[in-house]
Amino acid sequence: MSLQSHVLAGERAHPGATGDFSWILSAISLATKTIGNKVRRARIEDVLGELAAENTHGERQQKLDVIANNVIKSCLGSRANIGVLVSEEDEEPTVLRTRNDGGRYAVFFDPLDGSSNLDVSVGVGTIFGIVRLPEGEKGGVDAILSKDSHIVAAGYVLYGSSTVFMLTTGDGVDMFVLDHSIGSYVLAKRGVQMPDARQIYSINEAYSDRFPQGVQSYLGWAHKEGYSSRYIGSMVADVHRTILKGGIFIYPVSSDRPKGKLRLLYEALPMAMLVEQAGGVAITESGTRILDIYATDLHERTGVILGSTQEIAYFQEHMNKSS
């Protein structure tokens, strides 16, 4: 079953469905297939490496960051049911239309997560979240940051040894793989479930002396318990492994980043929804459920802890003891 057929079948099961998801997901599908092709041909087309410009976070942009960002905005911008596009690469949102003009949804996205790894052919990805905007006159930033906005779908596409599209619309997580022979994402597994426990942790341990005491305590315990360390450095790749294999992904606040590094709207929230729908847990170091956090700024950052239920429980024990 293709991604498109899968979405249409889901809409037929809900008589009140408007077809909005089908339109949005078809645009995301087209965009990610285009980006995947650009990633595969990056060295041939000489689009690897950094630009002179920095993005809104003060990070040096990769050439493909800009290309991927433009591809997604081009594909999504023509969809009449999208009101706002919010990208990691843009300081301000792209406001297309108000809610009253038909813009029922906002799409948050990180166009090319892990792009600094492109030079060495490590798996990278696209993260997205689809948010239903509130009724009324609000538009732009006011609509996005309203507590009446709700994330209703999330996913990521991993450009690795195969191109994998993970998607949830609030009824479990389904995995699709791009079949290049037909140019379509096809359903590979329905109802992906994260194992309840696995002795694997994923963290950039080189920064451990900057982490909160509870995180350091947990890492010391994990060493004694014989845990394995697996860290790729591309959030999509690390989270994908954690969802399929189990374990825990840790990207905490630190002394030099007291608010965290990962962005709430277009990295943490979509991944949290996917992890929870796969049976896992997604929290901050303090134990706050990520999906319960309301952003007050478009580029708000947060600490992110996600993974198997038992592994998160072990982590929280150490955080509680150190508080």
Do 83 and 95 form a contact (C-beta atoms < 8 A)?
yes
Do 109 and 70 form a contact (C-beta atoms < 8 A)?
no
**Domain of 38: which CATH number?**
3.30.540.10
| Residue 20 falls inside a structural domain | yes
Q: Which of 153, 27, 35, 129 shows the shortest CA–CA distance to 79?
A: 27
Q: Quick one: pLDDT at residue 101?
A: 81
Q: Quick one: pLDDT at residue 100?
A: 76
The tokens for 104 are: 């029922």
Domain boundary (163, 189, 215) is at: 189
Do 225 and 199 form a contact (C-beta atoms < 8 A)?
yes
Gyration radius of the chain over CA positions: 19
Residues 93 and 11 both lie in one domain: yes
Residues, the chain: 323
Domain boundary (142, 165, 189) is at: 189
Q: Give the separation between CA 9 and CA 4, rounded to whole angstroms.
A: 9
Q: Which residues of the chain have pLDDT under 50?
A: none
The tokens for 198 are: 């696995």
The domain containing residue 124 runs over which residues?
3-189
Residues 18 and 140 both lie in one domain: yes
Domain boundary (145, 165, 189) is at: 189
Q: Which of 144, 139, 186, 191 shows the shortest CA–CA distance to 168?
A: 191
Q: Quick one: pLDDT at residue 301?
A: 96
The tokens for 191 are: 């109802």
173: burial class by Cβ within 10 Å (0-12, 13-18, 19+)? buried
Q: What is the mean pLDDT of the chain?
A: 91
Residues 150 and 289 both lie in one domain: no
Amino acid type, 105 = Y
> Which residue intervals of 123-196 are DSSP H helices?
140-144
Please give the tally of structural domains in the chain. Answer: 2
Q: Quick one: pLDDT at residue 98?
A: 77
Q: Quick one: pLDDT at residue 54?
A: 61
Q: Quick one: pLDDT at residue 57?
A: 57
Q: Quick one: pLDDT at residue 56?
A: 60
